[in-house]
Amino acid sequence: MQVASGVLATCSLLTRVSEEHASPWDASQKRRVNPENPPSQAGAGSGPLILRPYQSAAVQNLRRALAGGITREMLCSPTGSGKTEIGMALVRGARAKHKRVIFLCNRVHLVEQTARRFTKAGIAHGIIQGENTARVYESVLVASIQTVVRRGLPDVDLIIIDEAHTVAGSKEYRAVIAAAKGVPVIGLSATPYARGLGKHYDELGGALFQHMTVAATIPDLIEAGYLVDCDVYAPSEPDMTGIKQARNPSGEMDYTDADVARAVNKPELVGDIVTHWLRLAAGTPTVCFAANIAHSKHIVERFQGAGISADHIDCYTDTEERRKILHRMETGETMILSNVGILAEGWDFPACRTLILARPTRSLIRYIQMAGRVLRPHASKDRALILDHSGSVVRLGFPTDEFPLELDDGSPKDAKGGQKEREKQLPKACPSCSYVKIVHKCPVCGFAPERRSDVQTRAGDLVPLKKKPKASKIDRQEFYSQLLGLAQEKGRQPGWVAHRYRDYFGVWPRGLRDAPAAPGEAVLGFVKHLQIKAAKGKGARHAGG
């Protein structure tokens, strides 16, 4: 595929629509806007876009990265943090400089949703998506990657990719980036954990994404009130023994759809979902993620049989029916909305309080995307509720935990999958009430399992253990600044700094100034210690192999 104006050449063949900012879908959408429940972030109109502090900082950091010569930048910003607002700020900035921008999406409903958001923000734009293609002469284009691959990439000065974690497993996206030949690319993702996002590709002449800017983390946003925390119950868990695994499009190992469906689509398990929802979440707007379409429909049937209004939606649901189903959910006519994965990306319904995880997964991306549907704040909820019937929480941790902060370069991982970040204590379900916690005594029902007394002992000397003193704030800043200085000397990426800081303190660096300083003995000694440790581990593996 070549960079060409092939799409622009079709302008004369298109029926020119009104010069208003309307998108092809807007006329049918205006009647569904609820004035009593406006978007949670201000600045959605045609006036100045009002950004939150972390969004504004992210925009500035992205611009600095591009000015510094990085042409492929990833933005990490959690679900519900306002990635589209950041994207719109970038679009407006480029348009103010008379630059041409294309905003790429991998699903038709995301093209539709982005077009509506741009319209509401007063950003004139064209559409490149199948038969809905219109106004391709505009300086801002919202496009389907599939259509762009078929018709050719128009002449643009900036490419923004939504849900950019899908890029690593997509030949279409790699073809577009290769064809762009130096045009800056910014990827937006809440879950940039896909294998190979930082990998070197010969056809691209470098890494798919060279650098990652982190706008905020989930704990940061919960603390600031931009997201809500959650309570988790794990009433039941399917037997996944012998279930096959394979790499998904993101390069993660996950259960295969056919096998996982056979493990979970059983009458007793589906019935347990309904029973526990009635006990723990009755009357709350709920989204359910099932293993496959048959499983989702089975869950809906059981809810309906219990007198609960429930709907199923999938990729085969036609556009008008899909709108009716979502509208019923938004108005409260439907209480349970079940699907397989179509609502995991791009579905914004902040009033949704409860999540039913009925599809076991080992994919961190899939897990966080599903959980993000209920973490948005809303006047009707103080906390979200997750009913895990899949074993995902005890397998992957809480969805509000800290997660990796560097791009995967595609290199082979160790026997544990290279997931050092997840080697902390995982939560467990209380045997009494099923509340998921990491402490011994359940904070909900007070149940505390008795400690095992049949401990075997052997003679030996007692050695006193000294607790490492907690570092003060200035110690942490000093250590962080020296790591930054060492990273500059050695040509290391920011992710290396974050991981070495966490190796030392046990937490990610937060609230610290980016003020590089000359590395001292403590930092140099600690980094040397890690290098020696890694070398010994490598030698031991070779010796054992």
Task: Count CB atoms within 10 A of the CB of residue 453.
Answer: 5
Q: Residue ranges of the chain with pLDDT lower than 70?
A: 1-48, 240, 413-425, 437, 440, 444, 447, 449-474, 505-507, 533, 535-545
Cβ pair 273, 302 in contact under 8 A = yes
pLDDT of residue 402: 82
pLDDT of residue 457: 32
Between helices 494-505 and 521-544, what is the axis angle to 10°? Answer: 90
The CB-side HSE value for 381 (13 A sphere, CA atoms) comes to 25
pLDDT of residue 324: 95
Bridge partners, residue 233, by sequence: 387, 435
Q: Indicate the fold that domain 223-412+420-437 takes in CATH.
A: Rossmann fold (3.40.50)
pLDDT of residue 536: 59
Euclidean distance between CA atoms 90 and 480, whole angstroms? 30
Top-tier CATH class for 8-216: alpha beta
User: Residue 469 phi/psi, 5° resolution?
Assistant: -60, 145
**Domain extents for the chain?**
8-216, 223-412+420-437, 473-534
pLDDT of residue 105: 94
Q: Which two tokens stand for residue 115?
A: 């077009």
The CB-side HSE value for 37 (13 A sphere, CA atoms) comes to 13
Kindly report the pTM of this predicted structure.
0.69
The residues, ordered by sequence, that sit 6+ positions from 236 with a Cβ below 8 Å of its Cβ are 269, 272, 276, 389
Euclidean distance between CA atoms 16 and 500, whole angstroms? 56
Bridge partners, residue 389, by sequence: none
Euclidean distance between CA atoms 275 and 525, whole angstroms? 57
The CB-side HSE value for 255 (13 A sphere, CA atoms) comes to 26
Task: Count CB atoms within 10 A of the CB of residue 36.
Answer: 4
State whether residue 451 is helix, strand or coil.
coil
Tell me the CA end-to-end span of the chain in Å, nearest whole number: 45
pLDDT of residue 530: 77
The b/e string for 157-171 (b: 16+ C-beta within 10 A; e otherwise) is: ebbbbbbbbbbbbbe
State whether residue 280 is helix, strand or coil.
helix
Q: Which H/E stretch holds residue 437?
A: strand 436-437
Q: Which H/E stretch holds residue 355?
A: strand 354-357
Euclidean distance between CA atoms 301 and 321, whole angstroms? 18
Euclidean distance between CA atoms 60 and 64, whole angstroms? 6
pLDDT of residue 425: 66
